[in-house]
Amino acid sequence: MFRNWGPGSDGSGEWDSGILVGSSGTWIVVFGDHRCVSDTALTALSRGGGRAVAIRWNGAELLKYAVDGEMKVTINIVATQYRTGSDPTLLDRHMGGLRFDIGGPDNADPVDPRESFTSALVVIGRITGQEINKEWLDEPHVGYIVPADPR
């Protein structure tokens, strides 16, 4: 699913990259770099009673959740103490039993960043009611190529 998206998927903006937009019931699920899952984009997708959840990668790995045009919470999935939004603890009940934080002075059991990403996929499944697994990812979804930033 994310294969062959090209070097721009690193989020630098120097190369074309990709974005995946899928649905899970009434939810819009977005995976992409910082250009694709900005607060502006997600709040626009969720306006009019909609709900959107996204994962952003590249430098700051974020889990974002917007409802009805409002950014409810953004969580850094490798350092979950860093949160913003109108309700920063909203997703805590969906994070039970999962591991996110990759390091820090109090973290005696560091987590690999890939586990943080997988945990974020589990959270998305818990809030949407649809497990985000290989089968879901392999289903047809809308994908776009995001052109490189002109310099």
What pLDDT digit, counting tens, does each position of 125-148 carry?
Answer: 999 888 888 888 888 877 767 677
The answer to whether residue 107 scores a pLDDT higher than 50 is yes
Q: What is the pTM of this model?
A: 0.80
Tell me the percentage of the chain whose pLDDT exceeds 90: 28
Residue 8: pLDDT band (50, 70, 90) is very low
Question: Cα dist. 38→43, 102, 105 in Å?
Answer: 9, 24, 30
- Provide, for the chain, the percentages of residues in helix, strand and coil under a 3-state DSSP scheme, each rounded to the nearest 5: 25, 25, 50
pLDDT of 71: 96
The label of the residue with tokens 């820090």 reads: 104
Instruction: State mean pLDDT over 72-86.
Output: 92
Please write down the HEC assignment for all residues of 119-137.
HHHHHHHHHHCCCCCHHHH
